[in-house]
Structure 1
């Protein structure tokens, strides 16, 4: 360095100043201390906001102690990369480069941490936990997400952006000032201290001497998933989700291992699969289902997948009185009293209802690469039997990769917003009335062609920001754009659709399924809020006689049941239950909630947790309460749960969820 530059503040030395001791690591030290302060303040604010839930969990002290530990881990991840470069750049010749690099890196890290914490409250309002993989998945659809935020959460959006910009300015000024005070050490001192610091940060990231390094599951300190998520930071939650998504082909192994033969035996041992033969070693769940109803001509099928219509909104299921049309219709067909969704996303509902596919901790197969072709769906199976197959959606069919999945797996035609001329259009596309008008026109066209048909109709009006036409319903809540009003409008549109379809010639030859993809918001103070997975389901049309299905059922049971009612006998890989043949045997449900998998059997709940021992609990459907037991679950229940969560991952990974060419 020249004599002039030696007088610069980058090389100044003043032993009376505290930053003298941090040497070339001053900006990284600022990142560590400012990050800890920022995350601790955020956690304090979130705990104060959710004080009732935190108090009920009884772990207030542990939350802050373990929270600091978790914060040190994520800050270690953000520090170790520039630290690793120190021997190359933290010298006098590259002093400005090193100071600038670490300043900008630390600024970006603090902005990332701050933005994630600022985005957390609104995410909690919607999903009852910190940002996770859903946050990442939604980033792939900026137009839809921005439209929802702008129309439904504008103050929160503007406030988050403004606060993030302010944080960026303050962080940059702080670190620019720190860079001017940075003191570089002699090369010998740098090279002697660097390995020690690198080891300290590595241990900071590992945070334990146990066999496995620390991970978010270690900070699950209570039976409340939200409270557990508050212990860690949103930055770590999202980074962990990104890492998990990269490994999701083997996602179910986070719960442990189970031999392949035990997986298959555990699934095939279900009472409703006991009479089936599984002749193919290559396709281990492939079997022939003989329809319970023998028909000269198989019936058509229409599935109406209702966006976010949980039991929360159905009075006869213990919810609000905002679905009067559905309440009338339920006495005209098969009404499911204990039907449970497999997850909390539309694509999870799609894979269960349309493909009969069980859930995993990974993303839905609708979005996974190995399922984009030759993956079994009702459309693929029915198409082989001469059915015309179609998907009708009021939004953009590319959302959540639906168009790719559907067209690659049996849907011959896709009709979305671009083919409609809606009278009312919201952020998510055409209103449900416009959607159903299009569906009615399409059904009439399909019927006129003289071939059997299958149409999947997916609604969207009941979605934030809850936009629907004026003057259609008497509002349930005074604020129009409220979920209860959106549900009531969706119900109104559904009632009009069924009434119009009933007047058509194809009604007597068509089975209609009305079912929700999931509830609007899945939240609660349970580790798995089972009551929020409860959804309505109704089968009507043709010669379907009214009855109530009271046994516990899952979304994956609907497809086999529909095939049986339609009079369609076929070979398929679905493991669901044909309720047309047996609706009395006690059933089961399987629920995927973030990284938790719940196996519900009677009132017994077995909860699998990543890298932790399973938990047992008792679920009361009347109150919606889940009480965790002190004792571990029975080994047989754990094995059944493990078999059902591992099988779909196995079938996906090996591409065995299909029928022979």
Structure 2
């Protein structure tokens, strides 16, 4: 040990060993946890762990910089003082505690999302109250803290027992040697900064292997750096006029014509309906984390049951082949309200200059409707209050809901049952004022920590199964409470998920992890049917407005599913970097570094096999994603 660490730069070597060792054992835990999903051939594992060691080393090249200053530049007479020795022990205590803490944190993150730290972890830093509260309510924190303390203490005891730190502190390496060796380490940092690309983790077609090859700390800071993505820099593009011209060929229909025939960069279309407009009320419920596979009507084979939703689907216009835009609530809200493909980086809901856009809210407001966005949590979360209040809605959130209305709440908000009761009161008030209404409801209960009110005769487990069961129960209670309301027969009810309950999978974009249910229920107005057309969340807005027989202007990318031709069927799926386009059983993905990949997928198993890229499909995909980003950045979808 003394030969290995008995020099002034031994402290940096120790730092490297600690970082790599703890990251390795953390990686082993994740491998065992997700063993059934990981490609475990010798070649795949060697690539995975070899790449992992490389990125652990890259992480060290940054992580070491503060201590490098002390190890290389600090005079020997200072190093030999008692104060410096105490500070050294404190430093390593904090480093070990931090690395162990990160390992525990990334396991909890992996359990929830199936990935290393990414943009979601970055977003969570903004909403510490909700996130910390969620963790405190979801996990046995005393046990976890005890485990972190014990592991940290064990590592520090080992360092003390082997006298590694004493050997380092006793070393008297001359300044010249320290400077030469330290300079070589700085070359490693320079190499990492100028040449290393995060895409070097793309070493497998299996997403789990790619995620295992990453370093948690490096992934976190990479997510901070790339939370805003310049589309033109990172993705394949074509000339903007060419893209908008092709977009017109895709979106223009006999009933939906562009208002400016000459300027192809003007994306506004006017939709003309046949006959009189219908002034139906609308209650649109976006359900948190409701995967399509939870419903037997789509083909549930899990131990999760939705008896009420299954019965509602049989009485509704049910869309059984519909896909969510993304994996987070703000992506669902963006898709439903703006009818736009998912743009790279963060959702438009959270981006600046998102006011007064063509959206469901602005269209209903133009028609004289009372619009309410009803959310059981605090609307500042994910910028929801700002977005909705600047796009046609009044906000009803936790700040507005009185204590006497709340029977149960957790860190995410009041329970769904309480929120539905408030929704009924808002609808009653609008009806009494003879105002048509649009109630947009966002639920919260189907989310960790999975805590629910006590219900006589019901017991909900504190897991996803219990969350779905309570969601189903609360919806049943809501529909029973409104069936005799004077406004019920003239109201269209829409139930749709914001995203699936999870997005983990081996593939870059696991298609089946984006399939969600949507049903439009109004027994007096709309006949029950199962619509099996391939469609997207972005199609909700034009389909709903077609049922209302409305004339309106919009920049919607969605289509009326009811009149959609077979060749028009498609869906958009994505995460914050990968942008996917589904047509038939083919998935094309636009990636950063201007990559394009294409897969044939099995609609039943979700298995994806690489196939050659179709120029035709690539062109369709690029024009829609490129114009969506360009349109927003240049304010082309703002209501003038």
Superposition TM-score, scaled by structure 2 size: 0.89
Q: Which residue of 1 aligns with 2:408?
A: 424
2:129 aligns to what?
A: 143
- Measure how far apart 1:405 and its partner are: 1.5
2:330 is equivalent to residue 344 of structure 1: no
Q: CA deviation at 1:504?
A: 1.9
Task: Give the C-alpha shift of residue 466 in structure 1.
Answer: 1.6
Counterpart for residue 268 of structure 1:
248
Q: Report what 2:345 is aligned to.
A: 362
More off after superposition, 378-387 vs 568-577: 378-387
Structure 1 position 537, deviation (Å): 0.4
In 2 relative to 1, CA 365–296 (structure 1 residues): closer, same or farther, beyond 3 Å?
Answer: closer
Pick one of 460, 475, 482 that aligns with 2:463.
482
Deviations 1:163-216 (Å, cap 9, x if unpaired)?
A: 444566677785864663353523x5555554443223322x26xxxxx83333
Does 1:255 find its partner at 2:238?
no
State yes or no: 1:654 paired with 2:634: yes
2:556 matches 1:571? no
1:59 is paired with a residue of what secondary structure? helix
Q: How far did 1:144 drift?
A: 2.3
State the Cα distance separating 1:18 from its structure 2 match.
4.0
Q: Which runs of 5+ in 1 are unaligned?
A: 1-14, 207-211
Deviation digits for residues 536-586 of structure 1 (CA, Å, limit 9, x no counterpart):
101122512222222111101111111221232111111111224436554
2:291 maps to 1:291:
no
Measured at CA, do residues 408 and 227 of structure 1 come closer, stay the same or move farther in structure 2, by a change above 3 Å?
same
The corresponding residue for 1:77 is: 62
SS of residue paired to 1:342: coil
Structure-1 residue corresponding to 2:170: 181
Q: Which moved more, 1:527-536 or 1:574-583?
A: 574-583
Query: What corresponds to 2:564 in structure 1?
Result: 582
Going from structure 1 to structure 2, the CA distance change for 1:322 and 1:189 (only over 3 Å counts) comes to closer
For residues 586 and 494 of structure 1, the distance between their equivalents in structure 2, rounded to whole angstroms, comes to: 33
* C-alpha deviation, 1:232, in angstroms: 1.2
Per-residue deviation at 1:252? 6.9
| Partner SS state of residue 371, structure 2 | strand
What is the rounded CA distance, in whole Å, between the counterparts of 1:415 and 1:197 in structure 2? Answer: 53
In 2: Cα distance, 1:385 partner to 1:414 partner:
21
Q: 1:458 aligns with which of 425, 442, 451?
A: 442
- How well do the aligned residues superpose, as a CA RMSD in angstroms? 3.0
**SS of alignment partner, residue 607 of structure 1:** strand
1:399 aligns with 2:387: no
- CA shift in 2, pair 1:551/1:16, >3 Å: closer
C-alpha deviation, 1:29, in angstroms: 2.2
The answer to whether 1:197 aligns with 2:185 is yes
CA 1:348 to 1:473, structure 2 compared with 1: closer, same or farther past 3 Å?
farther
Question: Which residue, out of 371, 377, 387, partners 2:359?
Answer: 377
| 1:531-550 → structure 2 map (5 Å cutoff) | 531-541=512-522, 543-550=525-532
The correspondence of residues 200-239 of structure 1 with structure 2, limited to 5 A, is 200-203=188-191, 205=192, 213-239=195-221
Alignment partner, residue 454 of structure 2: 470
- TM (norm. structure 1) is 0.86
- Once the two structures are TM-superposed, the CA of residue 224 in structure 1 deviates from its matched residue by 2.1
Give the Cα separation in 1 of the matches to 2:32 and 2:466. 31
Q: Distance in 1 between matches of 2:2 and 2:552?
A: 83
In 2: Cα distance, 1:116 partner to 1:251 partner: 31
Structure 1: how far apart are the matches of 2:253 and 2:398?
37
Structure 1 residues 252 and 278: CA distance shift in structure 2, 3 A:
farther
Residues 220 and 113 (structure 1), Cα distance of their counterparts in 2 relative to 1, 3 Å cut: farther
Alpha-carbon distance between aligned partners in 2 of 1:128 and 1:235, rounded to the nearest angstrom: 16
CA spacing shift, 1:77–1:654, aligned 2, 3 Å: farther
Give me the whole-angstrom Cα distance separating, in 2, the residues matched to 1:355 and 1:117: 39
2:323, 2:516 within 8 Å by CA — same for their partners in 1?
A: yes
Counterpart of 1:620 in structure 2 is 602
Q: 1:610 to 1:117 in 2, by over 3 A?
A: farther
- After TM superposition, the structure 1 stretch with the greater mean CA deviation from structure 2, 576-585 or 481-490, is 576-585
- Between 490-499 and 608-617, the greater mean CA deviation after superposition: 608-617
**Who is 1:125 aligned against?**
111
CA distance, structure 1, for counterparts of residue 452 and residue 250 of structure 2: 44
For structure 2, the 5+ residue unaligned runs are: none
1:561 counterpart (543, 546, 560): 543
| Kept after mapping to 1: 8 A contact 2:5/2:168 | no
- 1:324 Cα shift? 1.7
Distance in structure 1 (CA, Å) of the matches to 2:95 and 2:268: 50
Residue number in structure 2 paired with 1:9: none
Contact 2:324 2:499 (C-alpha < 8 Å) held by counterparts: yes
Give the distance between the partners of 2:67 and 2:246, measured in 1 at CA: 49
| Separation in structure 2 between the aligned mates of residue 252 and residue 121 of structure 1, nearest angstrom | 35
CA contact (8 A) 2:2 2:167 kept: no
